[in-house]
Amino acid sequence: MLSRLITYLILASAAATVWGQAPAEMVPADVDFYLEVRNPQALYDQLLESPIYRALDLAEDGKLSRDDGLAKLRKVMAPLRPYLSGRLGLGIRSRKTFKFLAVLENPDGHSLEDFIKRVQQIDPDLKTGDIEEYREARLVAVENLGFLARCEATLLWSSDRFLLRRALRRKTGATIADREDWKQLAARANKDQIVAMGRLGRVLAKLEKFEAPPNFLATMMLAGVVKELKAAEFATLHGRLIPLPDLTLETRHDASKLDDWSSSQRRHLAMPIGPDTLAAIRIDRDFDAFWRRRHELVPEAGTQELAEFTQGMNVFFSGFPFADVLAATKPGLELIIEDCQSGPSARPDIKLPGFALVFDTKFDDKVRDRFRVAFQTAIGIVNAGAAEEGRQPMLQFSKDVQGTQILAARFLDDPRDGRSGVSYNIVPAMAFVGSRLIVATSVELTERLVVRLKKTRQRSETGDLMMIRGKRLDAILNLNHEALVDQQLLEGAASDEEAESNIKGLLGIVREFGDLVLRRQQTDDGARWRLVVGAKAFEKAAFKSAAKADQRERQAR
């Protein structure tokens, strides 16, 4: 008690000269990563008030009906809100452990004593002690929190005393503000809410959990991306979080650390999307190259799954080695998800959208036959399982669309009630359009894709792309509203109202977010990521960006 009183007396006696000091001018130039939030107070207010985050809070199993998490957070954080009126800078050093330094502009001249009092309002058990005078500031050790200091017009917090001292010695050492790359970035992103730069790879490499899950499919899809981010020698991030996220991350790589299958600058035709497309995903990987090196790339934990997958694929392809099948494909894979409700004779209880994989093959009749055989084998396996489990079997049929044959199979109706023999609207289908293979869960979607793929698509794009159209997702969720309510009730909702409330959370997110577009493109020495959330983001990404790419290509020619 006495020591705390002394602390307060000392702090209260500190000079309160207010100098204009940018956070970047306090943070040592050699931190690994530096992030600056402009006007954090507005960001904080909007985050807590944002319908998106409210919907997220609501979505957590009807939490809002029992307990308002955001209100609690607001109550806890309220004492610190007045301090967020200036810019907030955060430096991260990663050595054996992470060390942090936060610098908060203090234009209103709040005292450190007041700041500590407010922090103690949040955690009454917080103890202070070990006061040290350093330069023109006083360092206060705070139990389990690190060190606090006030220097002129800034408040500082660091998990490390040495780092804090270095920040206070700024006049003799280079700071972030002295760096040319920061000056350029700050000028370029002067209207953004968040600006960051640094050795991203170094920071990520320290994060133990920043790994692709140790199964082989995740390795195939994500390991390259994780590796690419970890190989980032330098990265910049800027953009906004509120009202809807629009963030751009640019990385520079050490190319020697990347796998030949994980990234490329291959050009693709624009994805075959249409007005009913719910989501479109393109993954730009060389699966053949991955498969050749699979034993080296797949972690030990995924080997069992890999062996099972290989065995399954060998059955599907009737003894034809899966490695040879992949060798007959070209890099890249597209997944198109669309609302397709035609199919089974009676509408099933769960109305799934159609899913279609589209990939390019080396034009070869033998390859085509192998895929057709695999399709037949898959239907045969489903029918064998159906016989065992008392479900209705599937009957194969074919269809001609603009001269292209579609192979498909539908579940027979259940003679017990004349309804479709399956609860889900699945009518598997496959077709070749030139060298491009479509494998889908809906014959209707396959028909649409055949028509689209036959049209000339001149636009060229590179990299990975994920686009989700909020309105379509909303529509499919609404279509399954009754089934979703049923599910909620079985999972413990106490009433229809609570079930509806839980679903509203999910629908609220979709409605508030609108579309989501995540794009990753290869640049000359790295990659550029862009995340855009909001209305029309899908349309812009799908059509305007592609049109720009076309224009660039024409100019290049």
Partner 1 sequence: MLFTSNDHRLKPYRPGQDGAFGRAEVAHLLGRTELGATAARAAKIEALGLSQALDNILAFDDAKESALYRRHLRLGSRIGRRQELSLLQAQWLQRFLSARRPLREHLALFWHDHFATSNFKVKDTVAMQIQNEIFRLGAAGPFDELLEKIARDPAMLTWLDNDSNTKVSPNENFARELFELFSLGLGNFDERDVKESARAFTGWGVKARRFHFEATQHDENPKFVLDRMGKLDGGDVLAAIAESGASDRFVATKLFRWFVRPDIDETLAAALGQLFADCERCTGPFLKRILGSRIFFEPASRAVLFRSPVQLVVAVLRTLNANVNAIELAKHCRMMGQDLFNPPSVEGWKGGRSWINSSALVARQNFGQALIEGEADSLKARSREETSALKPWVSAILTGGQAAIDTKPEKAPRLIGEGSTRLVGECLFMSQVHLF
Query: Stretches 199-207, 260-268, 439-447, 494-502: which one binds partner 1 (CB under 8 A)?
Result: 494-502
Of 276, 486, 500, 550, which one interacts with partner 1 (CB under 8 A)? 486
Decide: 195 and 43 in contact? Cβ < 8 Å: no
Per-residue contact flags (x/-) with partner 1 for residues 35 to 64, judged by CB under 8 A: --------------------------x---
Residue 233 main-chain phi, psi, to 5 deg: -75, -30
Per-residue contact flags (x/-) with partner 1 for residues 440 to 479, judged by CB under 8 A: ----------------------------------------
Integer Cα distance of 503 and 346 in angstroms: 26
Count Cα neighbours of 511 within 13 Å in the Cβ-side half-sphere.
13
Burial of 124 (0-12, 13-18, 19+ CB in 10 A): exposed
Query: Stretches 12-20, 412-420, 466-474, 545-553: which one binds partner 1 (CB under 8 A)?
Result: 412-420
Residue 129 main-chain phi, psi, to 5 deg: 175, -170
Q: Which residue has the tokens 């082989």?
A: 216
Residue count at the site for partner 1 (CB under 8 A)? Answer: 23
Decide: 527 and 251 in contact? Cβ < 8 Å: yes
Of 494, 543, 544, 551, which one interacts with partner 1 (CB under 8 A)? 494
Is 496 a binding residue for partner 1 by CB under 8 A? The answer is yes
Decide: 79 and 118 in contact? Cβ < 8 Å: yes
- Give which of 386, 384, 391, 370 is closest to 439, Cα–Cα: 370
Of 208, 300, 389, 524, which one interacts with partner 1 (CB under 8 A)? 389
Is 415 a binding residue for partner 1 by CB under 8 A? The answer is yes
Integer Cα distance of 80 and 73 in angstroms: 12
Quote the least distance from Cβ 386 to partner 1, whole Å.
10
Query: Stretches 15-23, 94-102, 198-206, 487-495: which one binds partner 1 (CB under 8 A)?
Result: 487-495
Q: Which is nearer to partner 1, 180 or 389 (CB)?
A: 389
* Residues 6 or more apart whose Cβ sits within 8 Å of residue 81: 41, 44, 45
* Residues 6 or more apart whose Cβ sits within 8 Å of residue 66: none
Residue 242 main-chain phi, psi, to 5 deg: -125, 140
Quote the least distance from Cβ 151 to partner 1, whole Å.
39
Q: Dihedral of CA 141/145/147/148: which sign?
A: negative
Q: Which of residues 74-103 bind partner 1 (CB under 8 A)?
A: none
Other beta carbons within 10 angstroms of residue 400's beta carbon come to: 9
Q: Which is nearer to partner 1, 240 or 419 (CB)?
A: 419
Of 17, 311, 405, 495, which one interacts with partner 1 (CB under 8 A)? 495
Give the E-state strand segments of 152-300 in sequence order. 154-158, 194-198, 232-240, 246-253, 268-269, 277-283
Is 419 a binding residue for partner 1 by CB under 8 A? The answer is yes
Other beta carbons within 10 angstroms of residue 472's beta carbon come to: 21
> Which DSSP category does 175 fall into?
B
Of 178, 491, 525, 539, which one interacts with partner 1 (CB under 8 A)? 491
Quote the least distance from Cβ 496 to partner 1, whole Å.
6
Q: Which is nearer to partner 1, 416 or 455 (CB)?
A: 416
The helix-helix angle for 40-49 and 69-77 (nearest 10°) equals 150
Q: Which is nearer to partner 1, 226 or 485 (CB)?
A: 485
Is 500 a binding residue for partner 1 by CB under 8 A? The answer is no
Q: Which is nearer to partner 1, 244 or 493 (CB)?
A: 493
Q: Which is nearer to partner 1, 59 or 148 (CB)?
A: 59
Q: Which is nearer to partner 1, 66 or 171 (CB)?
A: 66
Per-residue contact flags (x/-) with partner 1 for residues 327 to 366, judged by CB under 8 A: ----------------------xx----------------
Is 556 a binding residue for partner 1 by CB under 8 A? The answer is no
Query: Stretches 161-169, 249-257, 416-424, 534-542: which one binds partner 1 (CB under 8 A)?
Result: 416-424
Other beta carbons within 10 angstroms of residue 245's beta carbon come to: 17
Of 489, 518, 531, 549, which one interacts with partner 1 (CB under 8 A)? 489
Quote the least distance from Cβ 53 to partner 1, whole Å.
20
Query: Stretches 214-222, 312-320, 369-377, 385-393: which one binds partner 1 (CB under 8 A)?
Result: 385-393
Q: Which is nearer to partner 1, 277 or 480 (CB)?
A: 480
Is 125 a binding residue for partner 1 by CB under 8 A? The answer is no
Q: Which helix (H) or strand (E) holds 483?
A: helix 481-490
- Give which of 259, 266, 268 is closest to 230, Cα–Cα: 259
Residue 357 main-chain phi, psi, to 5 deg: -100, 135
Quote the least distance from Cβ 498 to partner 1, whole Å.
8
| Pairing, β 268-269 against β 460-461 | antiparallel
> Which DSSP category does 270 fall into?
P
Other beta carbons within 10 angstroms of residue 48's beta carbon come to: 16
Of 2, 15, 490, 556, which one interacts with partner 1 (CB under 8 A)? 490
Query: Stretches 163-171, 200-208, 213-221, 492-500: which one binds partner 1 (CB under 8 A)?
Result: 492-500
Other beta carbons within 10 angstroms of residue 190's beta carbon come to: 10
Integer Cα distance of 542 and 546 in angstroms: 6
Per-residue contact flags (x/-) with partner 1 for residues 200 to 239, judged by CB under 8 A: ----------------------------------------
Q: What is each CA distance from 45 to 50, 109, 245, 443, in whole angstroms?
A: 8, 21, 15, 48
Is 390 a binding residue for partner 1 by CB under 8 A? The answer is yes
The footprint of partner 1 (CB under 8 A) covers 61, 66, 349-350, 389-391, 415-419, 423, 482, 486, 489-496
